[in-house]
Every structure is written in structure tokens, then in C-alpha cells.
Structure 1
């Protein structure tokens, strides 16, 4: 299996820093408490200095969405949506331990974190422009087709595992109760991304080891090393 960005994506977004994490043996509940409260508190503390829209991590994704022709305040990257919900509702919903961990880390670092069930992504994922005939499954179970030119997570079977890049994940490969092997995708474009993306990977890897005794394999993708195989 593989994960990669198309050359077109790298050319259009040269500031992209992408980190990948592969882990097996993460089924069931963690055997140690996850630091969700601490991560949420870190995000709330940062929000006391201004809304999420002022964060450089979020501003970089807003500029990227604008370059893609998307209204940044209509289509928000995942980390901005989480921070906005945390600021307005005071908390994040509990979904699944792995998802809750990814969401908490994403909010604390203001960086999008996607977690995919490896058993459900076919032969691999390429982040590329959509043709328009790919199939996207909403969490409500409805099928959609991405707009031509929209950046998606595409597998070789024509399924879109994310729409509008970091805006909305698909139900195809969402974490479920029987998920045992995961691929974590961390992407950022702000000036400190090369420093922060490895920190996000380390934070997640540490909690997977502590909670599930699961070792992780990580990698950083670059324009000269565009593919992660697992």
C-alpha cells in the first residue's frame, strides 16, 4: 500500500509538509487514559489569545483553500472546524478513542490530522485533483461525486476518502470499532510546519504506544520523497 501527493499538488502548494504514521494493533479501548483533557486545555489556552482564524497554521490553510477556489470561511480545514467547535461549545464530542485522540491533538496543534482504517483504503491513497467520477461516502451513508479539480484522497478503485483535501473525511475508511490498523495523515503549510508536523507525529505515536502498546512507523514526505509505502 502507499500514500502520496500528486506532482500537481506539490507544485501548487510548495510549502506543504506532510507526515505519515502507520500503526498496527490498535483495536479496542486503550489500556491507559488518553490525555484528552490536557490537549483540550492546551487548545483552549491558545484560544484565549485570539480566535482560531488568527493562528498561522489556520491562515496557511485558508490561503491554500483560496488558491483552490474555495471560500475559506465556508470550507474550513479539519483543525479549524475542531477549534471553532471547542471555542463555541466548550468541548469536543467523543466518537472513538482513536478519533478522539486525533481530534484532541489536531486542536492542540491547530494542524489537520486524518486517521484512516487501512483495511478499507484499497491499494493506497493519492492526494490529487478529482476527475469528478470518484465516489465519496458521507457519514450519513449517502454517495456523492467530488467536483472536477477538487483535491481529494483517491484510491485506485475510484473512491474518495476525503473531499476538499483536509475539509471532510469520507465514511469509506472512517475508524470503526473493529479498526486494528491505521494510517495517520498530518499536513501543514505554515512557516513552522517542518518543526510542528514531526511533533504531532511524535505525540500520536507516544499515545499509541502507551495506550495500545502499538509501535508506529513514521515518515515525512517531500517533493523529492513523495511516496510512503506500508
Structure 2
């Protein structure tokens, strides 16, 4: 298995000083215990209000400031972790989507961290975190039908050789590389800022890998540190 080491454009340093992440590459195995994900998501939702990490609010506020630096409005297009948190605080829970998605959403809620999951087989080349020039193409759905749009110039995006895979850093994922339980090669990116302790980032990655191992015995995972102040 070739582990993924994403490319982080140098311009990201000015937008998000101290950005660091965990890149986890997975060779999947058959899912024999989907209840692992269901239980993890239910527990994360139940514990959200009572047991948030002490640094969680500061971390989410820092993400909001990062979004403002590249022209996004976090009240309207928040980072993925804040969007999940708002839904749970409003509705009391999250609907089940897919065992793999449910599992990484549970980690995102528990650690107040944006977590992305991608079908690596659908990727063209190495994932890159860059500033958009506005000409890139992003595949999405509008009114139930496939559609394409372009990011705004200056917007931070994840992309590959074909186009945008996630807009506004981690706000909205594209359709082409979307992950589900049928994927054989998976890539996860756990994204943090200095307000989140480094040991908490490591724990979040460990919990994701542990959940995947219990859900699909026989899977294999490779972890890579990305960004400043971390050692692979």
C-alpha cells in the first residue's frame, strides 16, 4: 500500500499558520460489524454537549478566522466540524449515512475537528491543498441532478489533477471522490490548528483507525503527519 502524503501549497501557511493534519490511507476489508459505526455516532452525539474537549470552542473559532482570511463567511459556510456540531445541537442527533461516513463523523464530533474521507480509487494524482484561481471545476448536485461549478478565486480548496474535490477547505465535498462503504481504497484527512493539542490530534487518528479495524477486521492503515510542528 502506498500511503498518501498530500501536497500543501506554501500559500496555506499565511492563511493558517501552524496548520497540521493526519493523513490516513486505508486498504479496506469487508465490513462485518457496521454496528461499530452506529454506536460511535450515537455516543458522540449524546456526549457532545456534556463532554466537549476544553479546547474545542477555541479550535472551532480558529477555523472560523481561517475561513474569513480567504474570504469565506463561516456563519454561512462553516467548517465541516462546526456544521456537524450545529446539527447535533439543533436536532439531538445525526442521521446515519453510511458506516464509514458515520464513523469519521463521530470522530469529528468528539474531537471538534474537520475530518474528510475520500474514495482514493477515484482520485487522479496526489491530493493538494491550494488556493483556487477560479477556473477549477467542482462536481456537485443541484436540485437532484449532477452539476458543475467553480470555486471563487482565492478560495482554499482540496483538488486533484481533474478538479476540485472539496470546496472552502473542508466545507463541501464533491461527488466524484465521495467515500462510502463499498470503497476498497480510502483516504482520510484530519485537519487541525494549533488550538487543538497535538496529542489530541494523534488520539483522534487512533480512534478512527481503531473503529475501522473493529468494523472491518483485516483492513490495513498507514498514517502520515502533515504540516508544521509534527514528526512522521
TM-score by length of 1: 0.87
**Cα deviations across residues 36-65 of structure 1 (Å, max 9, x unaligned)?**
434543444342489xxx712211111111
How far, CA to CA, are the matches of 2:170 and 2:179 in structure 1? 16
Deviation, structure 1 residue 110:
1.0
1:184 to 188, 197, 201: 188
For 1:102-117, list aligned pairs within 5 A.
102-117=104-119
Whether 2:176 is the aligned partner of 1:172: answer: yes
Whether 2:149 is the aligned partner of 1:144: answer: yes
Give unpaired runs (5+ residues) of structure 1.
none
Deviation, structure 1 residue 72:
1.6
In structure 1, the residue matched to 2:25 is: 22
In structure 1, the residue matched to 2:70 is: 68
RMSD: 2.4
Give unpaired runs (5+ residues) of structure 2.
none
Q: Per the alignment, do residues 225 and 156 of structure 1 end up closer, same or farther by CA in structure 2, a change over 3 Å counting?
A: farther
In structure 2, the residue matched to 1:161 is: 165
- Asked whether the 8 Å contact 1:17–1:220 carries over to 2, the reply is yes
Q: Once structures 1 and 2 are overlaid, which stretch shifts more, 133-142 or 160-169?
A: 133-142
1:107 aligns to what SS in structure 2? helix
How far, CA to CA, are the matches of 2:110 and 2:230 in structure 1? 28
Aligned length: 222
2:127 aligns to what SS in structure 1? strand
2:224 to 195, 219, 227: 219
For 1:11-160, list aligned pairs within 5 A.
11-26=14-29, 28-31=30-33, 33-48=35-50, 55-139=57-141, 140=144, 141-157=146-162, 159-160=163-164
1:55 aligns to what SS in structure 2? helix
